[in-house]
Amino acid sequence: MSASPLAGINVAILGATGAVGRELIAVLAERAPDLGSLTCFASAGGGRRTLTVGGREIAVEPYSRDAIRPGTLVFMAVSGDFATVEAPALVEAGALVIDNSSAFRYDPAVPLVVPEVNAKAIGEARLIANPNCTTAILVPALAALHAACGLKRVIVSTYQAASGAGAAGMEELRVGVARDLAGESVPAEAFAHPLAFNIIPQIDAFQDNGYTREEMKVVWESRKILGLPDLPLSCTAVRVPTLRAHGEAVTVELERPCTPEEGRRLFAGTPGLVLVDEPESLRYPMPLTASGKDPVEIGRVRQSLVFGAQGLDFFLVGDQLRKGAALNAVQVAEALAAEGTLVLSR
């Protein structure tokens, strides 16, 4: 068995007990079983504990900045406030940090990376931002279309799973469904309203322009990753009662004509995407088939009835905890290793 790109690297995960942290442990076990070491941390107030991931017992230590040795690759699955303070301090102490929060995504000095699209943006950075889950799932398809036909404008409507609110959101959906079926009151703590048997057209706080912050994340982050700062892009983000894997309905207007057949060929040849587009056999992207998998499913490719020959409509589904978070972060580290820039000594 050949060595993984991360063979021999010492890795730390901050926020290991959360949904993204647990997924990071699982992804690393699959893709990099030959790490030098893996140390997991959670809030200091929780003390030492263990968690089970993939049948393995994982020790979790209370976080202390001094516990992170120089030369460690650090994955942060923590709040933006915590990352704002700790990430720069860890980098200064000699670590390389990949942060999953929104703390640094809009900082022009910090690369925001989806490796299939803009791995070269990493350069010599030692702090790298992981994008919002919805953005990470979306931009490989947009990048493929832009390279071939030029993007003119993009309209996105999302169908986002409870996993977007972490382990607490997933548990609230499970409990809510059981309580609703039992005729009991349904909780609404992780979400603005009960999610069981409901959809909620609000994710994150509303902004002055009437869009939510989640919707604007898709706009801001897609523009930065694609290198298209003026791309007209609009998003409506909706929470739906599925456990994991986000769906996105996308309409694009292109600079030149593109047939659905050409679009399918482009998507089928794009790393990170798998074409699932056989409507005659009732095969199309769904959370049931995309959950727990690395590739983003894409299908329902058709000519736009609004933009005609220069427009396409399509639907994609990606696992929010995999490509939308943990997998993308690990792929960033693998891209660093592949370029020979994963040098963890000051």
Residues annotated within a binding site for substrate: 160, 239
Q: How many contiguous H segments (helices) and E segments (strands) does the chain have? A: 9, 13
With tokens 């020959």, the residue in question is 309
> What does DSSP say about strands 151-160 and 127-129: parallel, antiparallel, or unpaired?
unpaired
Among residues 133, 149, 235, 258, which one is catalytic? 133
- Give the span between the Cα atoms of 314 and 206, in whole angstroms: 27
Query: Which pair of tokens denotes residue 227?
Result: 């290198």
**Among this protein's residues, is 258 annotated catalytic?**
no
- Contact assessment for residue 234 and residue 219, using Cβ atoms and an 8 Å cutoff: yes
**Among this protein's residues, is 146 annotated catalytic?**
no
Say how far residue 39 (Cα) sits from the centre of its chain: 22
Among residues 149, 235, 246, 258, which one is catalytic? 246
- Give the span between the Cα atoms of 103 and 81, in whole angstroms: 7
Which residues have C-beta within 8 Å of that of residue 274, sequence separation ≥ 6? 295, 296, 297, 298
- Contact assessment for residue 245 and residue 161, using Cβ atoms and an 8 Å cutoff: yes
Quickly count: other Cβ atoms within 10 Å of residue 261's Cβ: 9
- Give the span between the Cα atoms of 95 and 202, in whole angstroms: 37
- Give the span between the Cα atoms of 302 and 253, in whole angstroms: 12
Positions annotated as catalytic residues are: 133, 246
